């Protein structure tokens, strides 16, 4: 039996049920999450951790070989070149544009020798070419005739001043490094339509020990 005080005052069972429901909802919200919720949270955390930090990207060092073309110091990524070698007298081929100085044979491969100064629109002058930078990419194979090899240098992304593509003299120009060193892209250089002779790119004459 109910006590007299309970019987007199009565009990608001509706309020009791509402209160219990509120407590149940709070417990469920703070309790063990559903598998779907766990997967969503882990995916979000993985995306954040996989995102490289800006300072880490900026600190990555890129290595290039520095050389001189005419009066301009230039650079190419080391991953784009085979090696640098002394430029002996190239064998002349008739009918080639003036930007070609001939061809050389090195370690079983024939390299058309290109004068990058007129191709890039650089200032001529200075010492004559004495070395060749050998390039073998999907765009072609060639030897860039340069006045001197100035060594290796490293740079970070923050040290590269990008060029305005609308103002660049050639699509191979990627930016300016410290000490006014012009960074080039070998693939874009070899894609120049002026290097095409008789509807075929001369760099395609390169071989691996076979006759061209």
Query: Tens digit of pLDDT for each residue in 83-105?
Result: 999 998 899 888 888 899 999 99
User: Cα(190)–Cα(137) distance, rounded to whole angstroms?
Assistant: 9
57-205 in CATH: which number? 2.40.50.180
For 80, the 3-state DSSP assignment is helix
Higher per-residue confidence, 50 vs 76: 76
pTM: 0.65
Query: Tens digit of pLDDT for each residue in 169-193?
Result: 899 999 999 999 999 999 999 999 8
Whether the predicted pLDDT of 14 surpasses 90? no
For 131, the 3-state DSSP assignment is strand
User: Cα(124)–Cα(120) distance, rounded to whole angstroms?
Assistant: 11
Domain with CATH 2.40.50.180 in the chain: 57-205
pLDDT at 10: 62
- Answer for the pair 90, 196: CB distance below 8 angstroms, yes or no: no
- Answer for the pair 71, 121: CB distance below 8 angstroms, yes or no: no
């Amino acid at each position: 039996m109910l006590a007299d005080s309970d019987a007199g005052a009565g009990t608001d069972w509706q309020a009791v049920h509402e209160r219990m429901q509120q407590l149940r909802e709070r417990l469920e919200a703070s309790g063990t999450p559903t598998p779907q919720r766990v997967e969503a949270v882990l995916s979000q955390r993985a995306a954040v951790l996989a995102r490289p930090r800006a300072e880490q990207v900026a600190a990555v060092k890129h290595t290039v070989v520095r050389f001189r073309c005419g009066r301009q110091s230039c650079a190419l990524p080391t991953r784009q070149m085979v090696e640098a070698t002394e430029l002996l007298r190239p064998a002349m081929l008739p009918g080639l544009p003036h930007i070609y100085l001939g061809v050389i044979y090195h370690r079983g491969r024939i390299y058309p020798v290109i004068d990058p100064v007129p191709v890039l629109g650089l200032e001529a002058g200075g010492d004559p070419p004495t070395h060749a930078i050998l390039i073998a990419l999907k765009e072609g194979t060639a030897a860039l005739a340069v006045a001197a090899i100035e060594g290796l240098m490293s740079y970070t992304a923050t040290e590269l001043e990008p060029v305005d593509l609308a103002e660049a003299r050639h699509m191979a120009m990627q930016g300016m490094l410290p000490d006014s060193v012009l960074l080039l892209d070998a693939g874009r250089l070899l894609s120049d339509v002026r290097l095409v002779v008789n509807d075929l790119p001369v760099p395609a004459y390169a071989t691996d020990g076979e006759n061209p």
